[in-house]
Structure 1
Amino acid sequence: MSDPTPLAGLAALEARLRQDLAWLDLPANPWVKPRVSAGAAVLDVAIIGGGMAGLALAAELRHLGVVAVIFDQSPAGFEGPWATTARMETLRSPKHLTGPALGLPALTFRAWYEAQFGAEGWAALDKIPRLQWADYLRWYRKVLALDVRNEHRVNRVAPRADGLVELEIVTPTQTHNLLARHVVLATGRDGLGGPWVPEFARQLPSHLWAHSADGLQNEWFEGKRVAVIGGGASAMDSAATTLEAGAKGVDLLIRRAELPRINKGKGAGNPGMIHGYWRLPDAWKWRIRNYLNTQQVPPPRGSTLRVSNSGKARFLLSSPVISVEQNPAGGLWLHTPTARIEADFLVFATGFRTDFQQRPEFAPFASQVRIWRDRFEAPSTELDAELSELPDLGDCFEFKEKTPGSCPGLNHIHCFSYPAALTYGAVSGDIPAISEGSKRLAHALVGQLFNDDIALHFEAMRSYADPELLGDEWVPAQPTAEELRQ
Structure 2
Amino acid sequence: MTHSAAPATAIGLQALEERLQSDLELLELPAKSWVPPRTLHGDTVRDVVVIGGGMCGLAATAKLLFTGISNVVAYDAAPAGEEGPWITFARMETLRSPKTLHGPALGLPQLTFRAWFTAQWGAEAWQELDKIPKNQWMDYLVWYRQVLDLPVRNNVRITAITPIDDLIALDLTGAETGRIYTRRLVLATGRSGLGGAAIPDFLQGVDRRFWAHSADDIDFAALSGKSVAVIGAGASSMDNAATALEAGAAAVDMLIRRAEMPRINKMTGIGSQGVVHGMHRLADDWKWKFVDYTSASQTPPPRSSTLRVSRHPQAHFYLNCGIMAVREEGEGLAITTTQGEKHYDFLIAATGFANDFNGRPEFAAVAPFIRSWSDGRYTPEMGTPRASMLDAPDLGPDFEFREKVPGTCPQLAHIYCFNDAAMLTHGKVSGDIPAVSAGAERLVRGITASLFAEDVASHYASLQAYDTPELQGDEWVDASPLLKKENAL
Mapped partners of 1:482, 1:141: distance in 2: 70
Q: Secondary structure at the match of 1:347?
A: strand
Mapped partners of 2:449, 2:328: distance in 1: 57
The total of aligned residue pairs comes to 483
Q: Secondary structure at the match of 1:364?
A: coil
Mapped partners of 2:268, 2:177: distance in 1: 45
Q: How does 1:33-432 map to 2 (within 5 A)?
A: 33-67=36-70, 68-160=72-164, 162-172=165-175, 175-328=177-330, 330-375=331-376, 376-379=378-381, 381-432=383-434
Mapped partners of 1:380, 1:365: distance in 2: 28
Letter in 2 for 1:178: I
Mapped partners of 2:358, 2:369: distance in 1: 13
Contact 1:321 1:335 in 2 (8 A): yes
Q: 1:453 aligned to 440, 455, 463, which one?
A: 455
Letter in 2 for 1:112: W
Report Cα offsets for 1:40-63 as digits up to 9, x if no partner: 211000000000001001101111
Contact 1:224 1:248 in 2 (8 A): yes
Mapped partners of 2:390, 2:226: distance in 1: 39
Report Cα offsets for 1:281-339 as digits up to 9, x if no partner: 111111111111111100000000000112221010000111112234x3212111122
Contact 1:86 1:215 in 2 (8 A): no
Matched, 1:13 2:34: no
Q: Greater shift after overlay, 106-115 or 75-84?
A: 75-84
Letter in 2 for 1:339: G
Mapped partners of 1:441, 1:357: distance in 2: 24
CA displacement at 1:77 relative to structure 2? 1.1
For the structure 1 residues 463 and 413, does the alpha-carbon distance in structure 2 shift closer, same or farther, using more than 3 Å as the test? same
Mapped partners of 2:60, 2:188: distance in 1: 9
Contact 2:226 2:345 in 1 (8 A): yes
Q: Secondary structure at the match of 1:250?
A: strand
CA displacement at 1:234 relative to structure 2? 0.3
For the structure 1 residues 408 and 480, does the alpha-carbon distance in structure 2 shift closer, same or farther, using more than 3 Å as the test? closer
What are the ranges of 5 or more consecutive residues in structure 1 without an aligned counterpart? none
Mapped partners of 2:300, 2:380: distance in 1: 26
Mapped partners of 1:381, 1:149: distance in 2: 43
The normalised TM-score by structure 2 is 0.96
Q: Secondary structure at the match of 1:367?
A: helix
Mapped partners of 1:426, 1:262: distance in 2: 18
Mapped partners of 1:187, 1:420: distance in 2: 11
Contact 1:159 1:412 in 2 (8 A): no
Letter in 2 for 1:42: V
Contact 2:51 2:57 in 1 (8 A): yes
Contact 2:10 2:123 in 1 (8 A): no
Contact 2:8 2:122 in 1 (8 A): no
CA displacement at 1:394 relative to structure 2? 1.0
For the structure 1 residues 396 and 470, does the alpha-carbon distance in structure 2 shift closer, same or farther, using more than 3 Å as the test? same
Letter in 2 for 1:404: P
Mapped partners of 1:62, 1:410: distance in 2: 23
For the structure 1 residues 481 and 379, does the alpha-carbon distance in structure 2 shift closer, same or farther, using more than 3 Å as the test? closer
Letter in 1 for 2:352: G
Aligned-residue identity in percent: 51
Superposition RMSD on alpha carbons, in Å? 1.7
Letter in 2 for 1:473: E
Contact 1:216 1:241 in 2 (8 A): no
Q: Secondary structure at the match of 1:99?
A: coil
Letter in 1 for 2:460: F
Q: Secondary structure at the match of 1:305?
A: helix
Contact 1:228 1:235 in 2 (8 A): yes
Q: Secondary structure at the match of 1:165?
A: strand
CA displacement at 1:4 relative to structure 2? 4.7
The normalised TM-score by structure 1 is 0.96
Mapped partners of 1:272, 1:346: distance in 2: 41
Contact 1:157 1:361 in 2 (8 A): yes
Mapped partners of 2:8, 2:312: distance in 1: 38
Contact 1:36 1:42 in 2 (8 A): yes
Report Cα offsets for 1:416-453 as digits up to 9, x if no partner: 00111111000111100000000000011001100110
